[in-house]
Amino acid sequence: MDSFFEITARDGRARCGILRTAHAEVETPVFMPVGTRGAVKAILPERLRELGYDLILANTYHLILRPGLEVIKEAGGLHNFTSWEGAILTDSGGYQVFSLSRTLQVSEEGVAFRSVYDGAEVFLTPEEAVRAQMVLGSDIAMVLDECVPYPCDREYVRGSVELTRRWAERGKRAHRHPYQALFGIVQGGAWPEERRRSAELTVELDFPGYGIGGLSVGEPRGLTMELLEEQLSLLPEDRPRYLMGVGDPAGLVEAVRLGVDMFDSVLPTRLARNGTAITPSGRLNLRNARYARDLSPLVEGCGCTACREHSRAYLRHLFLCGEILPLMLLTEHNLCILRRLLLDCREAIRTGRISELSSAWKAWNMAEEGV
């Protein structure tokens, strides 16, 4: 995997690059739409490709439980099973194990939990998490890690950092896929010293890329960026850095400025299914009565189908009537906005303006547009 990642432009700490995977060459910085069970909700795969997305995320936890690895193996891997022609990153499922399972038991050997589908007992080891992803055949796989909540006692975090490192080492030893890049994951909770230690311990294992986990889990945004900046300074310059679970515009651009290359989040698609559009000035919630007679597009000049062909009033009407169409249109719109934003980030890096772009988006927040 020597030519897996190439940096093509820099502006301070920010970088443009290329990920060379078996199924696509992916330009970075890049946002990955989340297709947890093998499909991004409420949008056709071909429409995703038309928008310019060539890398999506799928989740090992859910795919192991349903439909099961045997089904996907018989289909010839996840690409064949889903008919997705681009690249796929599979998360190990560590976050889902820790966030969805109430009966969780963590040990040196692995993690025991109950399926969210039928309550069946499941035991996942670092080796099995990696072997499962080899069966899936994703382009990028992730080691199993322990994601601690916020806030969390430092002594527990310290032990968790050491456990995650040992799990990473075991996962790497189990990995035997010539065309799949296995990423390590750095953790450390909200403790700067543990963040540094996690980075140092994980980098020693020499992965082709690094996920940054356990951020944006409830801590203040300012603290998120402080911890991120500290940890990024310890990760290798020549390897891709993947900030897991961040997808709001302000957070994306600021993290790009600090040197992050890859992102994923359910935020844009989840907001869409709840009737909310992402705009440059904030959220636009179609439930709000003030849009009932608003015949303007969601965002003037946006190239998505919703903005080209429909008004806010019409989309609101469809959403309140329980139609499926507005969920699809808003999903396309939100992903179109983020795709445009990441293209703007790349252009800003190439022209030395990433700090200017970051400043312009800092005012964006989750407040409703115009409020």
d(C-alpha 123, C-alpha 284), whole Å? 42
How would you class 301 by CB atoms within 10 Å of its CB: exposed for 0-12, middle for 13-18, buried for 19 or more? exposed
Catalytically annotated residue among 11, 54, 91, 145: 91
Per DSSP, what are the bridge partners of residue 187? none
Instruction: Please report, in angstroms and rounded to a whole number, the separation of the first and last CA atoms in the chain.
Output: 49
Q: Catalytic annotation on 153? A: no
3-class DSSP assignment, residue 78: helix
CA dist list (Å): 253 to 172, 241, 273, 277: 31, 14, 24, 18
Who's near 145: CB < 8 A, 6+ residues apart?
Answer: 92, 94, 164, 167, 168, 185, 187, 211, 213
Are 276 and 319 a contacting pair, CB within 8 Å?
Answer: no
Q: CA angle at residue 329 from 305 to 39, to 5 degrees? A: 115
Sign of CA dihedral 61, 139, 204, 196: negative
R_g of the chain, CA atoms, integer Å: 20
Active site residues: 91, 264
